[in-house]
Amino acid sequence: MTKLRDRLTAADIRGAWAIIPTPATDDASDWRASNTVDVDETARAVDALVEAGIDGILSLGTLGETATLTWDEKRTFITTMVEAAAGRVPVFAGTSSLSTRETIRQTREASDLGVDGTMIGPPMWNRPDTATAAQFFRDVAEAVPEISICVYANPGVFKFGFSPTFWAQVADIPQVVMAKTAGAATYLRDLEASAGRIRLMPIDAEFYSAARIDPDSAVAFWSSSASCGPAPAIALRERVAEAKRTGDWTLARRLNDQIGAAVLPTIAYGDMDTFQTHNIALEKGRMNVAGFLRAGPHRPPHHLVPDHIAELGRLGGEAWAALQEEYQEYAASVTRAEVRIGDR
């Protein structure tokens, strides 16, 4: 398969990136099921996101159920995703595992299947220290030099704090071009630690804040909400770009506030322990309700969903679907502020 280009750089990472689930077949909650990837829905969803104007795709993270998929299922999903994207936007597939060797094995195969990059965090069976985490990224980069790397900076999942010392060390690795971060609270600190050599990507709900902190560097963000409907994420990209040009942040701030309110049910109204416990059910639940794509049932062992979690998923899905409806016409009509990498 043909990749978008040989290897992306931090300068190439711009715009609104969708984080997608791994669409599941109807029997996916049964531990006996062996091929649980809904191939048709994967292809349809990827094409729909690209056609809507999303700038890149991240996959096989927590809500992508990377920990509960077999490698055969990952291979099927990656192949389908790459074929559907067809070089129109960059595609990253997560290859995190419990060891350096297994991560390298999966990353090599994902590269052979045509992804432009991988999204990985350090092995987390034991809590890694900074030297261990940084060496892990060096080893993956050395083993798969053609791959672009997104640091999956999720402290809760990887038992690691992603300190300024860590960012300073991995910034010296050419393959490390971007990082999926949680928010804007440490944005400037981490930007300075990495000397601006890594594209720090906050979540959509924090992109406005990051852009106010440093407009020049804050040019990309990630959005799992885009899998509930991409229009608000595309509108956010445009509103912030317009605000940078004009100095008037009124519309960008309004949309930021709307996005923040819409995701509140998904993050259990700030109860992060509940969110981290039921992340998959909350995210996939709201996607199924919002209706842009069919995430399908949850894979075991995360298929037991308490009623109050299902209710939060419903509320989150309905809230985002309302935003999607409000911004769909605008998102469809705007002139893209950034030219896609593949069109350069």
Query: From the candidates 3, 152, 187, 327, which is the catalytic residue?
Result: 152
Give yes or no: 180 in active site. yes
Structure tokens at 129: 């220290």
Closest C-alpha to 311, from 258, 262, 265: 265
Residue 151 forms beta bridges with which residues? 120, 179
Give yes or no: 269 in active site. no
Distance in angstroms (rounded) separating the CA atoms of residues 312 and 330: 28
Whether the link from the prior residue into 23 is cis, omega within 30° of 0, is no
Using an 8 Å Cβ cutoff, are 221 and 228 in contact?
Answer: no
Contacts (Cβ under 8 Å, ≥6 apart) of 278: 268, 302, 305, 306, 309
Residue that is written with structure tokens 């010296």 in the block: 172
Query: Which SS3 state, helix, strand or coil, does residue 69 take?
Result: coil
Using an 8 Å Cβ cutoff, are 211 and 205 in contact?
Answer: no
Closest C-alpha to 178, from 149, 155, 207: 149
Distance in angstroms (rounded) separating the CA atoms of residues 211 and 209: 5
Closest C-alpha to 57, from 48, 67, 68: 48
Structure tokens at 337: 């502020």
Sign of the Cα pseudo-torsion (30, 84, 176, 256, in order): negative
Residue 119 forms beta bridges with which residues? 94, 150
Please give the C-alpha separations between residue 188 and each of 171, 175, 212, in angstroms, as whole numbers: 15, 22, 11
Query: From the candidates 3, 74, 159, 180, which is the catalytic residue?
Result: 180
Amino acid in the structure at residue 93: A
The residues annotated with a catalytic role in the active site are 152, 180
